[in-house]
Structure 1
Amino acid sequence: MAQVLEFKLPDLGEGLTEAEIVRWLVEVGDVVAVDQPVVEVETAKAMVEVPCPYGGVVTARFGAEGTELPVGAPLLTVAVGETAEGGRPATGPGTADGEAARGQGPAAEGSGNVLVGYGTSEAPARRRRIRPAQPAPAAPAGPPAPAAFAAPSANGRPRTVETRDTRDTRAADAPQQPERTGTPGAGGTPSRTAGAADGPVPVISPLVRRLARQNGLDLREMTGSGPDGLILRADVEYALRAAAAQGRTGTGTAGEPRTQAAPATDLAPADRAVTRIPLKGIRGAVADKLSRSRSEIPDATCWVDADATELMRARAAMNAAGGPKISVLALLARICTAALARFPELNASVDTQAREIVQYADVHLGFAAQTDRGLVVPVVRDAHARDAESLTAEFARLTESARAGTLTPAELTGGTFTLNNYGVFGVDGSTPIVNHPEAAMLGVGRIVPKPWVHEGELAVRQVVQLSLTFDHRVCDGGTAGGFLRYVADCVEQPAVLLRTL
């Protein structure tokens, strides 16, 4: 007899509490191997593939693509062991034994890995589709029937939910509908289950509660599509769209409709040219961090122009000598770590609760990287102990991972100082927001030919503008100015760095 085991969304580390399902990599009926990636999720830190610690046949999936699930919510169930005649598991969703066996019985052998990014060294087996012995009855003519999968109910047993299978077909012009659970009420709005408690309505975040309150939606009239009836933001937005279509935002007592105008703040009429982009995932995390930085950190900025001609000549000489090419960013990072050794006050953060300045001996250097999914700040660990060649290789690796969306949470956190090369956007200067909880950020503009007085004569030199934005709580202007001046001196005369090598 097969044993059906439940695999839940694992703890992704770094304080992450939820993730959005981006793409399912398996379907119900697929055979999966131990540690085979089964779903691609996006957290507030990165896009990651989640490996399943069990090997067997997928019997159920929980959540459609685009659904946000909290850590610990069921992802899928896997039938481990012998299979019934026809290739299907002996027990599974859809049978009484399958419902009772889900997650029951002794633990089956698996990898034991429940954290993203950890798995065995064995390559996953090629998955294959197991089809039932008897063909399914022909469907009536008309639109394709929605796929069915199991979703958890309040008592923990699976229940069938219908949703469109959007795997590999997520288009910008086809908005994803959340999975609906419970019995739909009038206008498509999910109705509250009979006998529901009168206590607080479970919602995934205070934002969802506020969104419902602002638009006059009664959460008690809804049954959420999340685990145990948890109301997700997608549920509220679905209800608001349904209400707008019928000219209402909720139901009154005894089921009588309460007519209201469609809320202009959340549901723009079709004839308006309005695009709404949800602040979630990485974009939402960046927004939260920038808002917190601006509200908590009393920042100040100083800047200086520097003649980078000698730095560019030194780089050209390094690259002409053979070996891996050295990037300008790596040279600037090497200068930055040397400056932090002289001015450790800037390699710090502020513990507001303890009212202490925390200085760090090691430099974990973050750098801003623009991707299609938003701005991310990968971190080069122990940058102070790396040479220019090692820094170049690490910058290239992290940048590629950022663009591919495969950075791990550990590669996006723990920085102590940030280097922001906004010159790649063709601008000279900027006053960036400090990357909370760090205390400072060095900004580098584009390096361009400009008129410059060199050795008493007007000449065309390669000039760059450097800026330092810093937390005024950790140091005063003298320390910040000294740091920036030292960086500029190293840019103008790279031989100054020989003192620290």
Structure 2
Amino acid sequence: MTAVDGAQVFLLPDLGEGLTEAEIVEWRVAVGDTVTVDQSVVEVETAKAVVDVPCPYAGRVVALHGAAGEVRPVGQPLITIAPADGAAAAAGAPGQAGHATYREEERAGSGNVLIGYGTGHGGAGRRRRRPRPAVAPDRAAGAATRAATPPPTGPATASAVRPPGQAGGSPSGGPAALVISPIVRRLARERGVDLDSLRGSGPGGVIRRADVETAAAPGARLAAVPDAPASHLGLAPAGDGDLVLPLTGIRKAIADKLSRSRREIPEVTIWVDVDATGLLETRAAINAATPGAPVSILALLARICLSGLRRYPQLNARVDTEGQRIVQSAGVHLGIAAQTDRGLVVPVLRDAQRRTTAELAAALAETTAAARAGTLAPARLTGGTFTLNNYGVFGVDGSTPIINHPEAALLGVGRIVDKPWVVDGQLAVRKVTQLSLTFDHRVCDGGVAGGFLRHIADCVEQPALLIANV
């Protein structure tokens, strides 16, 4: 952060976790707006999450460095704030007033900026006015019109958002489109879909990614994007060329990480079919006894994984190639693969072995919901030591997944379906699933991997075995 002619230039802050850049999703302010300390000024997307960036300065916005869709490196100018007119007049000299005003603001209410965590507050009990509604630069002209329009009904978190070029009301004069996800807004811009023309399939009419993709599918009518050549649209007209999507943001991060995993890890996958009837019965019994704190199948599988890793710690490890050593983690930092609108992410439950089954269930529900909403801080998406992947939610039985580098193993769970099964010499219909274990052959051999998977399978078939290992 540096001073320029009495104004303050706020640089894109250090994002942590090795992140070096961020893409501007939407500006919350426009040139000429007055901002307060810690007010969110821009929404950015990193390779980890979509987050709001608060500004540590107060004053008037004189410049926005970068437009929506532009990638900005860490340490480069993001926004320039000049002293408010009143502050400058009170101090006499504009240049000196700028420095005095900002030094006072920094001491009073702002510290180092860290995405996802605010800028800190020095004065206890000090209250600030709530930031004004988001206004992107290309929509500033219509801000007054939207402010005078009653908000649409729907979820409290939904916001009225319009595609570029429609700053005023919708063409039909109806309510504004309900969009929560910035990814949905960007997808609509890329594919030339008019959000005001869509009827959302989400709760309260919220427009989801699937709604945009359906509207942009071949044969669907695409809304015109003013002054945008066909090559700028995410979906090219039929017969005119291929669909070209930039490999950026989280999609690029996923590609880089999976490619590195395949290059470096000699992985092997083994699998087994198991009778999950007992596991489902155990879950039903637990939830009947504690109706206020439901336990999911995923939580029980997480508990079983923790039991297996306690017995076979070789799989709770990573290979340090530079140091030529295997590092076994003292705690189990359990990653949970979660599919979101932005792609596959793996939020991590730190020291999962210290949690009860009920605590695991609550943490899993909160974490996966936050991951899908894109509100997890970057630190919560790294540092895992073992991953649990429930790909059965996609209706598939098995998979040979790629290990989440630098971990050493991943347990996959397929769908649970009715299948014929032999029980005590008799054929019966049981709830059957397939478990797969993908492991790094550098950390262990087949005996350890097979022993771990067999222990998991035995606990799924006979959950009472868990009691002996808790």
TM (norm. structure 2) is: 0.73
For residue 444 of structure 1, what is the aligned residue in structure 2?
A: 413
Task: Tell me if 1:484 matches 2:453.
Answer: yes
In the TM superposition, what is the alpha-carbon distance from 1:81 to its structure 2 partner?
A: 5.1
Distance 1:332 1:451 in 2: 23
Which amino acid in structure 2 is aligned with residue 112 of structure 1? G
In the TM superposition, what is the alpha-carbon distance from 1:113 to its structure 2 partner?
A: 2.7
> 1:321 is matched with which residue: 261, 268, 289?
289
Kept in 2, the 8 Å contact 1:18–1:43? The answer is yes
For residue 425 of structure 1, what is the aligned residue in structure 2?
A: 394
In the TM superposition, what is the alpha-carbon distance from 1:103 to its structure 2 partner?
A: 8.1
SS, match of residue 117 in structure 2: coil
SS, match of residue 275 in structure 1: coil
Task: Tell me if 1:61 matches 2:64.
Answer: yes
> 1:296 is matched with which residue: 244, 264, 268?
264
For residue 307 of structure 2, what is the aligned residue in structure 1?
A: 338
For residue 129 of structure 2, what is the aligned residue in structure 1?
A: 125
Distance 2:287 2:240 in 1: 55
Which amino acid in structure 2 is aligned with residue 118 of structure 1? Y
**Bigger radius of gyration:** 1
Distance 2:29 2:442 in 1: 51
Shift in alpha-carbon separation, 1:469–1:354, aligned structure 2, 3 A = same
In the TM superposition, what is the alpha-carbon distance from 1:300 to its structure 2 partner?
A: 0.2
Task: Tell me if 1:44 matches 2:47.
Answer: yes
> 1:352 is matched with which residue: 321, 324, 332?
321
Kept in 1, the 8 Å contact 2:39–2:131? The answer is no
The C-alpha deviation readout for 1:297-321, integer Å capped at 9, x for no partner, is 0000110111111111010000011
Which amino acid in structure 2 is aligned with residue 430 of structure 1? S
Task: Tell me if 1:381 matches 2:350.
Answer: yes
Which amino acid in structure 2 is aligned with residue 289 of structure 1? K
Listed as ranges, the gaps of 5+ residues in structure 1 are 92-96, 130-143, 148-163, 177-240, 246-266
For residue 363 of structure 1, what is the aligned residue in structure 2?
A: 332
SS, match of residue 254 in structure 2: helix
Distance 1:304 1:51 in 2: 50
Which amino acid in structure 2 is aligned with residue 488 of structure 1? A
SS, match of residue 105 in structure 2: coil
Which amino acid in structure 2 is aligned with residue 372 of structure 1? D
Shift in alpha-carbon separation, 1:309–1:270, aligned structure 2, 3 A = closer
Distance 1:350 1:166 in 2: 53
In the TM superposition, what is the alpha-carbon distance from 1:5 to its structure 2 partner?
A: 1.2
For residue 31 of structure 1, what is the aligned residue in structure 2?
A: 34
Matches within 5 A, 1:244-255: none
In the TM superposition, what is the alpha-carbon distance from 1:272 to its structure 2 partner?
A: 2.4
Kept in 2, the 8 Å contact 1:146–1:165? The answer is no
Shift in alpha-carbon separation, 1:394–1:123, aligned structure 2, 3 A = farther
Distance 1:33 1:285 in 2: 34
Shift in alpha-carbon separation, 1:346–1:73, aligned structure 2, 3 A = same
Which amino acid in structure 2 is aligned with residue 404 of structure 1? A
> 2:381 is matched with which residue: 399, 404, 412?
412
Kept in 1, the 8 Å contact 2:287–2:293? The answer is yes
Aligned length: 378
For residue 465 of structure 1, what is the aligned residue in structure 2?
A: 434
Distance 2:436 2:250 in 1: 26
SS, match of residue 57 in structure 1: strand
TM (norm. structure 1) is: 0.69
Which amino acid in structure 2 is aligned with residue 347 of structure 1? N
Shift in alpha-carbon separation, 1:29–1:340, aligned structure 2, 3 A = same
Kept in 2, the 8 Å contact 1:61–1:77? The answer is yes
Distance 1:145 1:330 in 2: 47
> 2:105 is matched with which residue: 101, 104, 109?
109
SS, match of residue 28 in structure 1: coil
Matches within 5 A, 1:2-401: 3-80=6-83, 82-83=85-86, 107-110=103-106, 111-119=110-118, 120=120, 124-127=128-131, 172=187, 174=189, 271-322=239-290, 323-401=292-370
Kept in 2, the 8 Å contact 1:304–1:465? The answer is yes
Distance 1:358 1:39 in 2: 40
Bigger proportion of residues as helix: 2
Distance 2:249 2:28 in 1: 20
Kept in 2, the 8 Å contact 1:3–1:105? The answer is no
The C-alpha deviation readout for 1:159-212, integer Å capped at 9, x for no partner, is xxxxx8899995656559xxxxxxxxxxxxxxxxxxxxxxxxxxxxxxxxxxxx
SS, match of residue 411 in structure 1: helix
Distance 2:22 2:10 in 1: 15
Distance 2:165 2:129 in 1: 24
Distance 2:37 2:73 in 1: 23
Shift in alpha-carbon separation, 1:108–1:17, aligned structure 2, 3 A = farther
Listed as ranges, the gaps of 5+ residues in structure 2 are 134-138, 143-163, 168-181, 192-228
Which deviates the most, 75-84 or 367-376?
75-84
For residue 209 of structure 1, what is the aligned residue in structure 2?
A: none
In the TM superposition, what is the alpha-carbon distance from 1:117 to its structure 2 partner?
A: 2.3
Which amino acid in structure 2 is aligned with residue 26 of structure 1? V
For residue 189 of structure 1, what is the aligned residue in structure 2?
A: none
For residue 236 of structure 1, what is the aligned residue in structure 2?
A: none
The C-alpha deviation readout for 1:66-108, integer Å capped at 9, x for no partner, is 01000011111122355389x9x999xxxxx78x999899745
In angstroms, what is the RMSD of aligned CA positions? 3.4
Which amino acid in structure 2 is aligned with residue 115 of structure 1? L
Distance 1:103 1:21 in 2: 28
Kept in 1, the 8 Å contact 2:273–2:432? The answer is yes
SS, match of residue 109 in structure 1: helix
In the TM superposition, what is the alpha-carbon distance from 1:37 to its structure 2 partner?
A: 1.1
Kept in 2, the 8 Å contact 1:308–1:447? The answer is yes
For residue 196 of structure 2, what is the aligned residue in structure 1?
A: none
In the TM superposition, what is the alpha-carbon distance from 1:427 to its structure 2 partner?
A: 0.7
Kept in 2, the 8 Å contact 1:376–1:402? The answer is yes
Shift in alpha-carbon separation, 1:103–1:420, aligned structure 2, 3 A = farther
For residue 171 of structure 2, what is the aligned residue in structure 1?
A: none
Kept in 1, the 8 Å contact 2:87–2:97? The answer is no
Kept in 1, the 8 Å contact 2:83–2:98? The answer is no
